Amino acid sequence: MLQTGTPAPDFALRDKDDKEVTLSSFKGKKVVLYFYPRDNTPGCTRQACAYALAYSKFKKLGVVVIGISKDSEASHQKFAEKNSLPFILLSDPERKAIEAYGVWQEKKNYGKVSMGVVRSTFIIDENGTVEKVMPKVKPDTNADEVLAYLTGGDQ
């Protein structure tokens, strides 16, 4: 997984509307980049809805919120519509960004070992450097923890 202080790997991925989005296009803005396993699963839905609920606060701070998973653009579109998600969702079926950020890892679930996306959040500063790494975040508290960090409540 990437470390604090390293340059954030740029990427070019498609959003739910099939438009290409690059990380470098947000230079000059702080970016919250969160990786999650899958659309429409209970934990991922709670996490996305928590970001949606707090979105006006992120916007007020001038922070861009981006969620990334392996799901297709069509899946993201349905997920965003169903849950009224106002932020960017990017599709990474080839795991380019997922692997570049080191979140494709071995996971254990009920004794079974498999590879998958470890729910993780990265705060990228205005210069494109990883400012904070939050590995193995909890879906219910991730958005609030990020906001607390951004507003100086948790350094």
CATH number assigned to the domain comprising residue 105 = 3.40.30.10
**Would residue 22 count as lying in a domain?**
no
pLDDT digit string, tens, across residues 130-150: 999 999 999 999 999 999 999
Burial class (CB in 10 A: 0-12, 13-18, 19+), 135: middle
**Would residue 12 count as lying in a domain?**
no
Residue of 20, 28, 5, 138 whose CA lies nearest to 88: 20
Residue 155 pLDDT: 44
pLDDT at 154 > cutoff 60: no
pLDDT digit string, tens, across residues 48-94: 999 999 999 999 999 999 999 999 999 999 999 999 999 999 999 99
Read off φ and ψ for residue 3, nearest 5 degrees: -110, 155
The catalytic residue positions are: 44
Domain around 82 = 28-150
pLDDT at 114 > cutoff 60: yes
**What residue has token string 């939050």?**
134
**How does the average pLDDT of the chain come out, rounded?**
95
- Percent of the chain topping pLDDT 90: 92
**Would residue 44 count as lying in a domain?**
yes
Residue 100 pLDDT: 97
**Would residue 8 count as lying in a domain?**
no
**Would residue 104 count as lying in a domain?**
yes
**Would residue 75 count as lying in a domain?**
yes
Work out the number of other CB atoms within 10 angstroms of the CB of residue 34. Answer: 25
Return the higher-pLDDT residue of 109 and 6.
Answer: 6
**Would residue 92 count as lying in a domain?**
yes
Q: For the chain, what is the domain count?
A: 1
- Please answer whether residues 3 and 59 qualify as being in contact, where contact means their C-beta atoms are separated by less than 8 angstroms: no
Residue 107 pLDDT: 87
